[in-house]
A and B are shown apart, each in its own frame.
Chain A
Amino acid sequence: MRRFLLRYLIPRFLQFLTIIFVGITVTFIIPRLAPTNPVEAQISMMMARGESLDPQSIASMRAALTDMYGLSGSPLQQYFAFWGRLFRGDVGPSLANFPTPVSEMIGQAMPYTLSLLVTAVIISWIFGNLFGALSSYYPKNKALSLIEVLGQAVRPIPYYIVAIVLLVVFAYFIPIFPFSGAYPVGTHPSWSLAFIWIYIKHSVLPAATLVLVGFGGWFIGMKSLTSNIISEDYVVYAETAGLKKSRILNYYIMRNALLPQLTGLAMSLGTVFSGALIMEVVFGFPGLGMLTMAAVLRNDYSMIMGIAIYSIVGVAVTVFLMDLIYPLFDPRVRYQ
């Protein structure tokens, strides 16, 4: 147990803290390196909008905004104040929807992104691994080779392009799926069966985008892992011992190859999350991606900042949780 803590858990926890530290520090530094001053930009934007402001209220607004952006004091003081606010979970009010807190709006959008992301990632991971293992165990199977070619063809295409192609084909030319949104205008989210059905229909294309792009990577990764394992002595032994093929594949080959793929899953989460953001913009899916798009359009700086911070922390926490459950699958770590 002591060794497990020292060798496994503590390094993982330190890595978790490092990700948060690096990510938050980068989001702290970036606005301060940028040549534009967000406070002045905000004020000049209000002036440009034609709001008449007397010099005194401009001065008080400047003070308020400077405080809100955390720009008062020396850089070091700002940095500690920044962390202090983050620990309280406070990333400030949204500028476009003043004074709604950014965290509240993110909280509303998060379930849409998460439900879609989790489902899609799990589906693509399971199917990619399953077909990858099968294709290296049955190298002559035509159907599996076809799946491999298709998976590899979609893999390098950016999420945005895959999404737009699916949209044009399956919502525009062959309108079998809805064009945009998570539910039609006028319906209200509820836990009724009818609504869930509508929601699923609206989620098919967005989820398919994430599944299709992810599938090829898991497939090819699993294929190369299993092709190494297949030539191992214990597999040859199991075969000469006359074990059933399905048993060899499930217990002797896949089980061993799944572990690195699980690590790979944790490493890829950030990329998939980024992909989900832009995919939502294409389908008008009301999650974090749409929130980002709206924030960009309406110059909502604090919202963009909040989304960046929440996504970094969210991905880091998920990766750490996956590290925590990893020993359940890998006895070598467990009995260290």
Chain B
Amino acid sequence: MLRVLRDLLRYDGRFRFAFILLAAVVVMFLLSFVSPDDPNKTFVVAMDAPPSLDHLFGTNSRGQDIFWWLTFAVRNSLIMGVITAVISRVIAIIVGLTAGYQGGWLDRVLMSVNDSFVIMPLLPILILLGFLLRDMMNLFLLGVILGFFGWPYDARLIRSQVLSLKERSFTRTAVYSGTNGFWITINEHLPFVLPVVFATTINNLLWSIGTEVTLSVLGLSDLTTPSLGTALFWANQHGALVAGVWWWIAAPALVAIILFLGLYLFFASINEYIDPRTRLRLIGA
């Protein structure tokens, strides 16, 4: 693991950049534990102060320090993203492995449901769900809901991998020596698809955090919990741009860009590393 990290840092400029961006995100995540302010309290500092050394990102119209508030937002958004990623991973692995290994009508049914979810515009459905659950919505529940919608793309990817694994001789050996289908998928196929699962996890994280931003801006999440989405919601509610408090919008946008860019570059770099052909090109062989 450490050697992989060292290799990537040495040979991939993109990974180095991603590493720096993600380090900044992790620092913000950790700083939330030593924050001097409680994010639920308002009017603890002067209102509408522009960015300065005292208040790195300035303060907002609710009398909160934007930097410290955003440390909680980053933490909550990331935790929610991980909840989504875990749930959708489990579904994607089960659907992908089953469809790929079983084939036949089961594969066809699973994949046409799968493709329907890929093609359908999910946002209107999520808005409908968020609207109905508005009173009981919290970040955990949102993470779970997104988990149930975030698997189809990856399930298809895993299935296509299993289709090729199925043709390999070790699968046939296992079948002829009497191993049942369930154990073949778990013991023989799962380890092969795990790298892909890991890479797509990051993509899923991006999707989930981005969707949270979208739903929160519409007011469809728990607005009392700090998150990247609620940060923008409250700035809009107070008409931050009209009032000239532009840093209230700019700060969460900046943090979001750092987070998204960092995760995406990390994903792209890992994805190339997993493919042995591009890995060789990377180290100049």
Q: Which residues of A contact B (CB under 8 A)?
A: 14-15, 18-19, 21-23, 26-27, 30-31, 34-36, 38, 152-153, 155-161, 164-165, 167-168, 172-173, 266-267, 269-271, 273-274, 277-278, 281, 292-293, 296-297, 301, 304-305, 307-308, 311-312, 315-316, 319
Q: Are B122 and A22 in contact (CB under 8 A)?
A: no
- In Å, the complex CA distance between A301 and B125 comes to 12
In the complex, what residues of A have CB within 8 A of residue B127's CB? 292, 296, 304, 307-308
- In Å, the complex CA distance between A277 and B263 comes to 25
What is the minimal beta-carbon distance from A184 to any residue of chain B, in angstroms?
17
In the complex, the number of residue pairs spanning A and B with C-beta atoms less than 8 Å apart equals 145
In the complex, what residues of A have CB within 8 A of residue B249's CB? 164, 168
Interface residues of B in 125-139 (CB under 8 A from A): 125, 127-129, 131-133, 135-136
Report which of A26, A30, A270, A297 forms a contact with B118, defined as CB distance below 8 A. Answer: A270
Count chain B CB atoms within 10 A of each CB in A152, A161, A296 and give the residue with the most: A161
Q: Are B113 and A22 in contact (CB under 8 A)?
A: yes
B214 within 8 A of A: yes
Interface residues of B in 163-218 (CB under 8 A from A): 206, 210-211, 213-214, 217-218
Chain A, Cβ-Cβ closest to B215: A278
With contact pairs A158-B213, A292-B127 given, residues A164 and B253 touching in the complex (Cβ less than 8 Å): yes
Q: Are B124 and A307 in contact (CB under 8 A)?
A: yes
Q: Are A31 and B261 in contact (CB under 8 A)?
A: no
22 A/B residue pairs, CB under 8 Å, sorted by A: A22-B117, A27-B125, A30-B125, A35-B133, A36-B132, A36-B135, A153-B261, A156-B260, A156-B263, A158-B256, A161-B256, A165-B257, A172-B241, A277-B123, A278-B214, A293-B218, A296-B127, A296-B218, A297-B219, A304-B128, A308-B128, A312-B121
With contact pairs A267-B119, A274-B123, A277-B123 given, residues A168 and B256 touching in the complex (Cβ less than 8 Å): no
In the complex, what residues of B have CB within 8 A of residue A36's CB? 132-133, 135
Q: Mark B133-168, 1 if CB is under 8 A from A, else 0.
A: 101100000000000000000000000000000000
With contact pairs A157-B261, A164-B249 given, residues A23 and B120 touching in the complex (Cβ less than 8 Å): yes
Q: Are B113 and A18 in contact (CB under 8 A)?
A: yes
* Number of B positions contacting A (CB below 8 A): 43
In the complex, what residues of B have CB within 8 A of residue A18's CB? 112-113, 115-116
In the complex, what residues of A have CB within 8 A of residue B218's CB? 278, 281, 292-293, 296
What is the minimal beta-carbon distance from B142 to any residue of chain A, in angstroms?
14
B82 within 8 A of A: no
- In Å, the complex CA distance between A266 and B118 comes to 10
**Ranked 3 nearest A-B pairs via Cβ:** A156-B264, A274-B123, A158-B210
Q: Are A168 and B241 in contact (CB under 8 A)?
A: yes
Report which of A23, A161, A269, A304 forms a contact with B213, defined as CB distance below 8 A. Answer: A161
- In Å, the complex CA distance between A35 and B132 comes to 8
Report which of B116, B133, B220, B253 forms a contact with A34, defined as CB distance below 8 A. Answer: B133
Q: Are B217 and A27 in contact (CB under 8 A)?
A: no
Q: Are A160 and B214 in contact (CB under 8 A)?
A: yes
What is the minimal beta-carbon distance from B100 to any residue of chain A, in angstroms?
19
Q: Are A30 and B120 in contact (CB under 8 A)?
A: no
B232 within 8 A of A: yes
What is the minimal beta-carbon distance from B26 to any residue of chain A, in angstroms?
18
Q: Mark B212-242, 1 if CB is under 8 A from A, else 0.
A: 0110011110000000000010000000010
In the complex, what residues of B have CB within 8 A of residue A271's CB? 121-122
Q: Are A156 and B120 in contact (CB under 8 A)?
A: no
In the complex, what residues of A have CB within 8 A of residue B115's CB? 15, 18-19
What is the minimal beta-carbon distance from B254 to any residue of chain A, in angstroms?
9
What is the minimal beta-carbon distance from B198 to any residue of chain A, in angstroms?
17
What is the minimal beta-carbon distance from A214 to any residue of chain B, in angstroms?
15
Knowing that A15-B112, A273-B121, A305-B128 are A-B contacts, what are 16 other residue pairs whose CB atoms are under 8 Å apart, sorted by A's residue number? A19-B119, A30-B125, A31-B128, A35-B136, A156-B206, A157-B257, A158-B211, A158-B256, A168-B249, A173-B246, A274-B123, A274-B124, A301-B132, A307-B124, A308-B127, A312-B120
B56 within 8 A of A: no
B250 within 8 A of A: yes
In the complex, what residues of A have CB within 8 A of residue B264's CB? 152, 155-156
What is the minimal beta-carbon distance from A84 to any residue of chain B, in angstroms?
20
